[in-house]
Every structure is written in C-alpha cells, then in structure tokens.
Amino acid sequence: MLTYSKSYWRWTVVLAALVFSSVTQAENPSAKVGDFQNGIQPLLEKHCYDCHGRQKTKGKVDLTGYASWSDLEANPELIEKMIEALAKNEMPPEDEAQPSDDQRTLMLSKLNGVFDRAVANHQSVVPLRLRRMNRFEYGNAVRDLFDLECWVYSISDRIIRDHNNYFRPESGQMPKVAKVGNRVMGLQQMLENRLLGVMAFPKDPPAENGFNNRGDHLSLSPVLMQSFMDLSRSIVHAENFDKNCGVWDDLFQDPLSTKTRPRPASITVDKSVATDNTGLTISAWIQPSKVTDHWQTIVRREDSWRRRLLAIGRTGDTWGLWIGAGISGRYEEFGASVDPKTLSDGNWHHVAGTYDGKQITLYVDGKQAGSKALEGKIQMQSTGPMAIGAHGEEPFHGSLNDIRLYRSGLTKTQIESLAAGKESVAEEEMIGSWKQPTKAKPKLEHPAEEIAHQRIERFLLKAFHSPPDEKTLTLYGGYFDKQFKKSGAFTQSMKAVVSAALASPRFMLVHNETDEASPNQSAFNLAARLALFLWSSIPDDELLALAGQGNLNNTDVLEAQVDRMLNHRRVKNFCDSFAPQWLKLNNLVSAQPDFKTHREYYFGGDDKISYKRGMHMMLEPLLNFEAVFIENRSIVELLDADFTYRSHLLAEWYEGRAATYAINVNLRDIEFTRTPISDRRYGGVITTAAVMAMTSGPFRSLPITRGSWVSAVVFNDPPEPPPDDIPDLRADDKTLQREGLTVRQKLQQHSSEPQCAGCHAKIDPLGFALENFDLLGRWRDDYRTGLKVDASGTLFGRHQFEDVVGFKDAVLAEKDTFAKAFIGHLLSYALGRELTLADRVAVGEITAASKEGGYRMRDVIKNIAVHPIFTQTRRP
Amino acid sequence: MKSMDRRKFLLGASGSAMALPWLEINAAGPSRKKLKEPPLRFASFYSPMGFVRDHFFPEKGNADFLATPTLSPLKNVGEKVSLITGLSTVKVNGVDVHNQASSCFLSSANAQGEFKSAYPMDRTLDHLIADKVSHRTPIRSLELNCNSFKDLKESIYLDNISWYGPEHVATTMKDPRKVYERLFTTKKADKDITDLILEDASNFKRNLSYQDKEKLDEYFESVRGIERQIEKLNQYYSTREKADVPEPEEGPMTRGEYIRLMGKLLVVAFQGDLTHVATFMLAPERWGSPQEYHELKFTKSHHGLTHGQDNESVKNFLVQVDRFYMELFAEVLEQMDAINEGEGTLLDHSIVTLGSGLGDGKDHTMNELPVVVAGSANGRIKTGRVLNCPKDTPLANLWLAQAQLMGTGMTEFGDSTEPLSGLLV
C-alpha cells in the first residue's frame, strides 16, 4: 500500500495474527456482494468478525459495527486497510479459511468503489502550502538566479560529482563511461569550484519514509533565519562572486564605468593545430594584488592526469612560479623560486613556462627563473577549454592579461620577445589565447537610477518567481536610490538590493497555492512548482514568460515545457535529490561491517576513514537510475535491467576477487562502465551491493531490515512501527553455530509469537529472498556455519519463488503494484507533502495513464506534472 | 573545574559594577534587607532510549540513589540532586515510539486528545518559560544538540526536543563554534535590510490564505527575534566584558570532548546571564548508526545496544554508555556548583533536569521514566533524596511545577493533573 497519512487518526498497534475459530464451510461462489447485508456481510461474518470485533479486536479493528455501505463509507481509512489486506492476501491469515478468488475479487472491486465514494464525500485534497526552500533547493536557486559558473556551496546533498560531463539528458543516451566522484564518502569532491566563504545552513532531515522537501518539516527559526541573512550577504560579497556571475552585465555592472569585472575567462583550444604537439608553452601577464602561501591559478585545465597549469604560490619550501603538465604518462609539476615581493609590487609581470621534450623551463619577465631536465613526450592534448584565473579554492588575486598557449616549447629568445611586449611571436605554434576585453566609455541615455530600476524589475521577476507589483518595485527601487545617494557606487548599491531580496520571504518561501490567487498568479505558482519538482530550483525565463502570457496551463504548452525541462541539464538536480532519498542510500554512509572480519570493505588501515567500498557501491544504483531516466526506460527496469554501471573495483567485488587495497586508489574521478548483465541475480537496484550492505549489521545480513527496505522502497508500504517488547533474537554467529540453526530458522521461532506473526508474514519473505547476498552484497550459497541458505518464499500470498531470480520475477509480476508505489513516492516528492487518502485517486489515475507505454520514466513524471493534483486546476 | 568569578563577567571595562539582573550591591547595603531573588535558570537535558533500569534505579525503599552504578557519578553534587521515580507519559498507539519520546518529551500533550501533528506535540516547556523570562537576557533560549552523526538519515522528531509549536522546530545548534559565535559576537544590526524585508513580508502576507499567513508568522518572528537579539547583545556587551572562554577550534574532537565543550558553553551562558533557558540533547533519539565513543574505546549503535540488553555482554557496553553520559552531565552540574553567586551557587539558582522519553530502551515503555532534577530553584526544591511518585504520575506534573517555579504562573501543562507534589521543600 502507499503510505497515506492517517492525518490525526492513527492505526493502533501492529496488525496481529488472527486466529479464526470458525469452521470451514463450503463456499457459495454465487454470493453477490452488491447488497451489503446479503453480499459482503456474510463474508465478513465468516472470515473477519471473530478477530475483529466479536471475540477479539485484533489491531483494534472492529468490523462488527458496520451494517451498511454508508456506515463503511464514513471511514475511508478502514476501507483502505481492508483493500490492502485483501489485495496482498494478508487477510485472512494463511492458516485460516480463505474466501474464493471470485469472492476476493468481488469484495475488492466493491470496496474500491465505496472507497472512491468515501474519499469524494469525506476527504478533500490537501492544498499546497507555503514552505521554505530546503538547503539543496536554495543553493540551486541562487546558482540559477545569477547564472553562476560555480556552485554556491559544496554540500553532500548532491552525492555524485560529474567529471566527464556524462549527464546529457537531451542526448537520450547515457554514455558508456561515467567518470564520477562520491561527495558523501569521499572528501576530495569538496575541491570544487564554489563561492568562497559562503556557509550552507544545516541539511534538512528527511521525513520518515519520505523526502526532505516536506512542507510541514521546513520551518523557520531565528537560528535558521540568521543563516539565511548571513547567506544573503555572503553570497553577493563572496570574493569570487563577481567573476562567476553570469548576469553581471545585466544586473551589477555600473553603466557609468568602463571597468568591467574580471570575467571568468577561458581559452578555447584551436583543434586544427592542437593535435601535433612537440611540447608546451604557457605565457601570461600577471598583476597580483596580493600574494599568499596558497596557490593562485593563472590558467588551468582539469582533465585527469593530462591536466596542465601555470600558477604562483607555495609548495613545500618553494614560493614561486609553477608549471604542470602530463608528460610520458605522469603528471609533472615544477616550480622555480621567485621573490613574492617582486610579483606583488603593483606592476605587470610576464611569466611563462615551457617544455620542449627535454627540459622544463620557467621565466619571469623574460629571464629564466629555473629549469629541470626531463626527457619525455607531452601527452596528447585534450581540447577542453582552459580556465583562467580560478580553480576551486585557488583563485588568482589581481589581474591577468594576454595569456597564450603554444604547442611547442618556445626558445629563450621567443620568451624574451613576449616579455618585451611583442604581439606576433611564433603565431603558427599558438593553439589558443585570451586577452582582457576593452570597452569604450559608455554614454548614458537614462539616469543611473532609471537603469537600476529596470534591472531590479527584471531581477525580482526571477527571484520572486512572479512579477513584482508596484509596491514591491517602489520598495526595492527606493532602497537602491537610498544606497546610491549615500555611496554613489552603483554596483555596491545593487548588491545591497539583491542581498535584501535574497532574505525576502518571496524568495525563500515557495510552493503556495492560495485560494485567493488570481489566475495569473496561479500560472506563476505552477511555473515555480514545476521548477521545484524537476529542477529543485526556480523557474527560468521561458517558464516565466509563458506564465506571464497565461499559456502555461494549456496542456500542449505544459507538456512541451515538461519535455524541455526533462532535457535540460538542470534536471540532474531531480536525479540527485529524488533517487538517493527514494533508495534511502544515506544508510550506506553509516554501514560499518566489522573491521577485523571484513577488512576487504575498507581501503585504508582502519575503519574510521571514509574511503570504503561503499563509496563505489553507492554510485551504482544512482547511475542506474540516471540511465533509466535519460534513456526514458520503464521504471520496471529499476528493478530488473540487463545492464548496470560498475567501476573496476566494484566488478571485482561482485566476482569475489577483491583484494584489500591501499589508500592510493583513484578516489576523485572513478570510471564507471556500462556493463551488460545476463546473470539475472543482478540488474536493478534491489540486489546491488549498496542496498545489501546498508541493510546489514556489522556481522551479518539483516533479513528483516532488508524486508522492511523492500516493503518501504519498492512497495511504498513501510511496516508499522514494531511492537514494544521485541525479544532479543540472539542470532549471533556463535549462538547459531551452537544451535545449528540458520538465521531464518531462528527467526521463525521468534516470528511465531502471536504478536509478531502478522507483520513478519509480510516483511520476512521480502528479506529472506535476498539471503544469498552476504552482509556486503556478495553471493553465497551457504552460511559460514555451512548451512544452506534458504531464499524461498511467497510474495503477497500468490507468487511462489525458490530463489532471488524467482523473487524478482514475482516482483515483476506485481509491476502494477510497484508502479503505483513508485508513483506515490514521486507524487509526494512533487507536491512536497505527505499523501493522504484523498490522493489515492490521483495516484490511481497517474498509474493508469502511465501503463500504456509500459511505465516509461518520463511518461510517469509527465503524467504527474500535468495531472490536476499538481497543476491545481479544478476538475471540470 | 576552576571556579570562575562571576564578578569578572559583570564588571565593565571601567571596572565599575554594572546593572546586575539582581543586585548584589544590596547585600552590602546598610539596610541588610533580604536579598532580591536571584534569576533562576532552567535547563533540560535529554538522553535517548532510557537507561538500563537496574543500574539506574536503586532497589525499592533504598534511599541511597547515589550508590547505583549509573547515578554514582553525581555524588559530588549529590545533595543538590533528586531522583524522581514514577513519572510517565502516555504512549500513542500506532506511532513510532522513539519519535514520540523525543519530540514530545517537553510538551507531554494529552495523548487522548486531538493532535496538531502526528504526535502529541505542542509548544515545549522551555519556550513557555522563555516567553516569561527572556526579557531578562540578551538571548531568548539556547537549543544545544550533541548529535555528531554524519548521516542525516533520521527524522526531525528524533533530533529535537525543543519546539515552538507542532511541526515548528526550534533549530538546534550542533557546532560549538556557532554557539560560541552566538554567545560572544556582537553584530551591527542592519536596520535598513530588516525594515525592508519586514515591509516586503507584510505586503506579501496580504494575499495569503490563513494557513500560509501562519507560516509567514514564522518568518516575522524569526527576523524580529534576530533583531532583538542583536540589539540586546550589543547593549549587554556595552557594559560587560566577554567571558574568558577560548574560541573552540576546528578539528576532530572525541565524543566526550565535544559534549564537554557544549556543556561548558551552556554553563558560561547561564553564568553570564546571556540566557536563562536551555535544552541540551546529549544524543539524538533512536538513530541506528554506530557511534564512536572514543573514551570508552568502542564504536556501537546505542539503539542497537538497548535492544540487546538481555545479553550480558551487550548490557555491559550499554551501562558504560549510560554512565558516560551521566558523567558528562555531572561535570556540568559540578561546574555550575563551583560558581558562586550571591549566597549560593549557580546550581542553587537553577533547575536542571536530565531525563529520557523512554523508560526502557528495550521494552519501549513510557512509564517509570528515568529523571533526575538538580538545583533547588533557590532553596525551593527539596534535594538530595529520592522522590517516589505514585505509579503513572504524569511527567507533565514535574514540568508544571518547574514552570511555576520559573514564574510563568501556569496552572496546567499538557496532561498534567497538578504540580508535582512532594517536589518542593
């Protein structure tokens, strides 16, 4: 079943095993259930009343008080429970007399009918309320608002770091190789380009069996508001904000000034001459405003070990000029000592580094500063652009100009010419260059304030995701005027306005759908909702324009927009946010197999360091999800696919060939390769090592935890809270060995306790089906005690299976149930709230609409986005 | 810990005595009239998943509660501590017991009534008290939390005991550096910006529905709360010196060092009258992840241990964890008791409770909750004894009594039946 909130009404205790006392009688298949008294009541009387009202009130469910359909209609929660119990063959319990299949089907169809009526009459769809953006959304919104070329902050909410631009939704094809890093379990990923000195607020916790975008959990407090105020200031004043700001010219650029901000520049490599390199020369003019012990990047391209760079700063004892390049399969870095005072005297200096196949040489102002003999071949140049003046936390303080890149090592004379300011030097060898753009002094046709007000209006439309009214414009425009009058500084005044807007509730709070909203406002609300759902961010110009024209609610337009959004790179945010939360992958972070007996899980010398195999494992299901998404495959392939993505280490792991690795494995950009799967034990997320490892304890697999995971994730049916007094299982290896039992046999003793049996009958088969995977996800036929693993069972009382392949087939046979469950998860995520019983209708409709194409991922998403429950349009 | 001189806090740069919350100078006055009441401090410490019963509670009839293994760390301040037995909360059937235990620990709303959220939550005691007493201090209240788990996988309810209202969490501070910054750094109030955004928010509010207006009130309260705090802190530090506490360093800490540091910051905040109300989570409720207890030299899941306590070797680990937390709590009390304040100590002028929302981590019972109360609220609470309450006495009775001692004038709280009888002298 889907987890529907029972709002303020709760089921009590776990559904316990029912003990029927009635005697089996011959069935009367012709019994009609249409009429309550003659139809369903006799069946309830025969199969249910004893335990639910007459002799006992199991699960505090009393059915005897309902004498008509309308009685029942008043209690949709109860009907829903009855439907689920009947549909999954949970009731009557296995060892009791069962209604015939026909009777069951008839009861179900009747109960479904009365449920729909009950919901229509007694439940209303919960409106969408105002909520604060969560940490992930806030960072994305700021990035998109300013079109930043870097992250706002480096947070673990995004697990995957993409190092080869593999995520291209518009291509419809996931590449064969994804080079990725894991931020949660590998700290290297923090060295990414981001705003300096900007601190994220604490991560928002997920709801139980839910997501971290739930409106009821996203509130504000003074402590949190302080973080938002600090953020709003620190973002626009970050040292590297200006050069990373893509909307600079349209917002912050002083219209009176010729001075432009240092742009985030790059050198594009000319591919026609780049191929034939004999060496390398990087030449640049620099004017550092300050020198520190940190590295300051002049130019750099990040491309694994083929990277190259020119920088100043300190490594070890050497403060000086540095060059780096891939030479003969190794990354070589060489620095020459330079007096920092020379470079920071306020003048422009020429710096260069060369490699000619025999020697690396560094020059400052045309004079050789150092050299090192090194015989070798420069590595094939990749043709990616080289970033100028910034690399993560190593930004250049000051100005740069006239940066040139050559495919050979220039001679000393040629470097002297460059240092003397000659324009044309070795032009045939040059493969790229960059110069500070120059601009003529602009003439203002309007006063600066007027220009500012126009810019503010455009900015606020995007920041507040709806057009600012007169009052708002006057407020923020007036604020600009006040600041500008005081300081006369355009850029600073604009930053003050922007900083205030970032702390406004109109920016931070989203997702409301007010009854009072005008149709126009509703269109902007829909745009904002779409952007949050698919991009975890704010709407872009196109969505805002359509909302402004009033066209967004037009089905064709809406569908086209959803398609466009699903092809946009920003949709990576959806995968980053939804997939790991759906799979509860955070549990893998704290998986801690015993270090002594499972050293092979750990890369390092102890269990404290974060480099574990889990780091690789975690990425596999996420990449699988992204492949299904990008290639618009059926969501059923999330459970059973003929391919997967595995790293070299992970492939070895599954094959049981893994050795203990030292720490010096590549932890930054790990290659995951698409691997065909013919062995049906694998393929799909359930049997990935990630899921198996995070549902295990330090010493053994935990079948109940696994069963709960399958129930909650795959069937969106998290088990009820366990009863209070759980007897200790005592299933440690020693005890099991002594007693000669498998975990399963041991657990069966425990589960036969009446207060446990009901729930365990539901969860256990789901967990034991996976018992052939050990606590770290490797296949085993036998336990270490030598006893054979028994993975057989029955799903929903109707699909028998012998092993995990059979189990997967059983799950696939219930693919409609899975689809409904998945859509429930996704709808809850899309709406940012817990689903209620009334939403069951929408889930049913979306599921039905997606079935035709075989539940393709994009169809499912699109069907949610166009459904009235999401667009919030009233039904005709 | 070395006793810190309260005077150091209260003397301004010129060395002259500044306006004190309660006037010590009265003591030296010629009339020798009775001292004005010192300000009372309220703190509630939370320890998750109960304590191992037979190591915590003395045997029936045995008044020497300081002899039990888990409570014995309190013996240095034993005469200022009471063990209270028999307190209970009502468990709501069908909801997760751990979530209820922590999120409702300080609200104890009637479990039979209608809830405003999934659990019987309400505005918690600390905030009801702060409503009345926070005018005395620059900081309204402190919500500290020693959750050091890196995997934020559990729900908001398990990680918070302090709530402004149902579903409106009072964000806890987990980073000692942030706590330090909050206590000791003054900021320039940016009146321009706050005026602007508050006006913008007022305009925005007009078009909202009733429920959304409520949500926006969170925003108003938060912005104004910040403004107020900045103003009051600036005022405070215009006449007082910063306490002699080094800024916490960045870098790894052991579990004990971390909690000790947070505890010290709490003591300093109380000592300097920076705030009079605080909550302190020693660890979050449930949280299935392994925790490294550096001082105990093992890494175990506290939650896992509570479930396995029938097994002697597991129980042995668990009682070490219980004692570990009790020792850290005792250190806080000892520090407070070493600070002289008027005729008594800081501890004498406080009500500091340590408790858990579960009576037993294995059986998940919510009766017979482990609760100790330290400090006498300036001689009003009878300490140094065991107070045995009748079975199923509502925990809310204790909270109501404490609320009254703190001067709230409340006559009922949650499912209270009366202020806890027998608590007072």
Give residue A660's pLDDT: 61
Count other C-beta atoms under 10 Å from residue A453's C-beta: 19
Same domain, A302 and A344: yes
Name the 3-class secondary structure at A567.
Answer: helix
Beta carbons within 8 Å of A101's beta carbon, 6+ residues apart: none
Looking at the predicted structure, is the pLDDT value of residue A867 above 70? yes
Give residue B372's pLDDT: 98
Count other C-beta atoms under 10 Å from residue B120's C-beta: 26
Over the stretch A580-609, which tens digit does the pLDDT of each residue have?
Answer: 999 999 899 888 898 888 888 887 766 666
Contact A587 B164 (CB under 8 A): no
Same domain, A208 and A340: no
Same domain, A232 and A353: no
Contact B215 A129 (CB under 8 A): yes
Contact A202 B209 (CB under 8 A): no
Contact A514 B208 (CB under 8 A): yes
Looking at residue B333, which CATH number applies to its domain? Answer: 3.40.720
- Is position A543 within any domain? yes
Same domain, A421 and A294: yes
Contact B362 A472 (CB under 8 A): no
Over the stretch B247-264, which tens digit does the pLDDT of each residue have?
Answer: 998 888 999 999 999 999
Looking at the predicted structure, is the pLDDT value of residue B407 above 50? yes
Interface with A, mutate which of B152, B294, B301 (most A CBs under 10 A): B152
- Is position A715 within any domain? no
Give residue A59's pLDDT: 73
Looking at the predicted structure, is the pLDDT value of residue B77 above 50? yes
Same domain, A353 and A426: yes
- Is position B415 within any domain? no
Q: What does the H/E/C string look like for chain B?
A: CCCCCHHHHHECCCCCECCCCCCCHHHHCCCCCCCCCCCCEEEEEECCCCCCHHHHCCCCCCCCHHHCCCCHHHHHHHHHEEEEEEEECCCCCCCCHHHHHHHCCCCCCCCCCCCCCCCCCCCCHHHHHHHHHHHHCCCCCEEEECCCCCCCCCCHHHHCCCEEECCEECCCECCHHHHHHHHHCCCCCCHHHHHHHHHHHHHHHCCCCHHHHHHHHHHHHHHHHHHHHHHHHHHHHHHCCCCCCCCCCCCCCCHHHHHHHHHHHHHHHHHCCCCCEEEEECCCCCCCCCEEECCCCEEECHHHHHHCCCCHHHHHHHHHHHHHHHHHHHHHHHHHHCCEECCEECHHHEEEEEECCCCECCCCECCCCCEEEECCCCCCECCCEEEEEEEEEEHHHHHHHHHHHCCCCCCCCCCCCCCCCCCEC
CA-based nearest distance B233→chain A, Å: 15
Same domain, A137 and A249: yes
Residues in B closer than 8 angstroms to A698, CB to CB, are: 290
Residue with tokens 């929903």: A796
Instruction: Tell me which residue range forms the domain holding A71.
Output: 36-121
Give residue A28's pLDDT: 42
More confident residue, A155 or B336: B336
Q: Is B298 left (phi over 0), alpha (psi -120 to 50) or beta?
A: beta
Q: How confident is the model at residue B75 (pLDDT cuts 50, 70, 90)?
A: very high
- Is position A498 within any domain? yes
Give residue A23's pLDDT: 32
- Is position B71 within any domain? yes
- Is position A481 within any domain? yes
Contact B363 A505 (CB under 8 A): no
Give residue A514's pLDDT: 61
Residues in A closer than 8 angstroms to B167, CB to CB, are: 216-217, 219
Name the 3-class secondary structure at A355.
Answer: strand
State which H helix or E strand residue A234 sits in: helix A222-236
Return the C-alpha torsion angle B78, B81, B87, B88, nearest 10. Answer: -100
Residues in A closer than 8 angstroms to B165, CB to CB, are: none
Looking at the predicted structure, is the pLDDT value of residue A780 above 70? yes
Same domain, A46 and A116: yes
Contact A586 B208 (CB under 8 A): no
Contact B204 A587 (CB under 8 A): no
**What are phi and psi for residue B82, nearest 5 degrees?**
-120, 145
Looking at the predicted structure, is the pLDDT value of residue B29 above 70? no
Where is average pLDDT lowest: A123-132, A303-312, A621-630?
Answer: A303-312
Looking at the predicted structure, is the pLDDT value of residue A664 above 70? no
More confident residue, A659 or A348: A348
Give residue A414's pLDDT: 93
Same domain, A410 and A478: no
Across A111-120, B214-223, B332-341, which has the greatest mean pLDDT?
Answer: B332-341
Residues in A closer than 8 angstroms to B153, CB to CB, are: 206, 584, 586-587, 589-590
Residue of B nearest to A510 (CA): B212
Residue of B nearest to A473 (CA): B200
Residues in A closer than 8 angstroms to B200, CB to CB, are: 472, 475-476, 504-506
Beta carbons within 8 Å of B154's beta carbon, 6+ residues apart: A205, B284, B286, B287, B288
Looking at the predicted structure, is the pLDDT value of residue A232 above 90? yes
Name the 3-class secondary structure at A634.
Answer: strand
- Is position B14 within any domain? no
Same domain, A98 and A217: no
Same domain, A142 and A92: no
Same domain, A270 and A415: yes
Nearest to A201 by CA among A211, A187, A212, A209: A212
- Is position B35 within any domain? no
Q: How confident is the model at residue A8 (pLDDT cuts 50, 70, 90)?
A: very low
Same domain, A277 and A323: yes
Say if CB A680 and CB A640 are below 8 A apart: yes
Interface with B, mutate which of A219, A230, A516, A750 (most B CBs under 10 A): A219
- B/e letters for A351-383, b = 16+ CB within 10 Å, e = fewer, are bbbbbbbeebbbbbbbeebbeeebebebbebee
The pLDDT of A87-111, averaged and rounded, is 84
- The closest CB to that of B197, out of A129, A500, A586, belongs to A500
Contact B200 A720 (CB under 8 A): no
Residue with tokens 């013919």: A678
Give residue A662's pLDDT: 52
Over the stretch A450-503, which tens digit does the pLDDT of each residue have?
Answer: 999 999 999 999 999 999 999 999 999 999 999 999 999 999 999 999 999 999
- Is position B178 within any domain? yes
Over the stretch A137-156, which tens digit does the pLDDT of each residue have?
Answer: 999 999 999 999 899 998 88
Q: What does the block give as tokens for B184?
A: 């000791």
Give residue A689's pLDDT: 97
Average pLDDT for chain A: 85
Looking at the predicted structure, is the pLDDT value of residue B359 above 60? yes
Say if CB B414 and CB B399 are below 8 A apart: yes
Average pLDDT for chain B: 88
The pLDDT of B176-205, averaged and rounded, is 91
Give residue A415's pLDDT: 94
Name the 3-class secondary structure at A205.
Answer: coil
Please state, in angstroms and rounded to a whole number, the distance separating the CA atoms of residues A392 and A194.
6
Please state, in angstroms and rounded to a whole number, the distance separating the CA atoms of residues B125 and B414.
10
Say if CB A55 and CB A61 are below 8 A apart: no
Q: How confident is the model at residue A56 (pLDDT cuts 50, 70, 90)?
A: confident
The total of structural domains in chain A comes to: 5
Q: How confident is the model at residue B11 (pLDDT cuts 50, 70, 90)?
A: very low
Say if CB A640 and CB A808 are below 8 A apart: yes
Looking at the predicted structure, is the pLDDT value of residue A1 above 60? no
Q: How confident is the model at residue B153 (pLDDT cuts 50, 70, 90)?
A: confident
Contact B197 A8 (CB under 8 A): no
Residue A571 CB-density burial (10 A; 0-12 exposed, 13-18 middle, 19+ buried): buried
Over the stretch A637-660, which tens digit does the pLDDT of each residue have?
Answer: 999 999 999 998 899 899 888 766
Contact B94 A13 (CB under 8 A): yes
Name the 3-class secondary structure at A602.
Answer: strand
Give residue A604's pLDDT: 72
- The closest CB to that of B211, out of A129, A225, A508, belongs to A129
More confident residue, A876 or A195: A195
Give residue A440's pLDDT: 62
Please state, in angstroms and rounded to a whole number, the distance separating the CA atoms of residues B267 and B252.
22
pTM: 0.79
Give residue A658's pLDDT: 73
Looking at the predicted structure, is the pLDDT value of residue A839 above 70? yes
Residues in B closer than 8 angstroms to A127, CB to CB, are: 209, 211
Instruction: Tell me which residue range forms the domain holding B116.
Output: 41-182+251-405
Contact B150 A589 (CB under 8 A): yes
Looking at the predicted structure, is the pLDDT value of residue A317 above 90? no
Looking at the predicted structure, is the pLDDT value of residue B5 above 80? no
The pLDDT of A856-869, averaged and rounded, is 95
Residues in A closer than 8 angstroms to B168, CB to CB, are: 219, 221
Q: How confident is the model at residue A292 (pLDDT cuts 50, 70, 90)?
A: confident
Residues in B closer than 8 angstroms to A222, CB to CB, are: 140, 221-222, 225-226, 229
What does the DSSP assignment read for A682-694?
A: SSSSTTSHHHHHH
Over the stretch A187-202, which tens digit does the pLDDT of each residue have?
Answer: 666 667 889 888 888 8
Q: How confident is the model at residue B22 (pLDDT cuts 50, 70, 90)?
A: very low
Asked if this assembly's ipTM is beyond 0.85, the reply is no
The total of structural domains in chain B comes to: 1
Residues in B closer than 8 angstroms to A499, CB to CB, are: 193
- Is position B62 within any domain? yes
Give residue A610's pLDDT: 60
Please state, in angstroms and rounded to a whole number, the distance separating the CA atoms of residues B362 and B304.
9
The pLDDT of A302-321, averaged and rounded, is 77
Where is average pLDDT lowest: A26-40, B233-247, B274-288?
Answer: A26-40
Please state, in angstroms and rounded to a whole number, the distance separating the CA atoms of residues A508 and A526.
17
Looking at the predicted structure, is the pLDDT value of residue B4 above 50? no
Percentage of chain A beyond pLDDT 90 is 46
DSSP conformation class of A368: E
Please state, in angstroms and rounded to a whole number, the distance separating the CA atoms of residues B165 and A609.
40
Give residue A58's pLDDT: 78
Give residue A88's pLDDT: 82
The pLDDT of A205-228, averaged and rounded, is 89
Contact B156 A205 (CB under 8 A): yes
Amino acid at B239: T
- Is position B95 within any domain? yes
Count other C-beta atoms under 10 Å from residue B76's C-beta: 14
Say if CB A52 and CB A46 are below 8 A apart: no
Give residue A13's pLDDT: 26
The separation between CA B331 and the C-alpha centre of its own chain, rounded to angstroms, equals 15
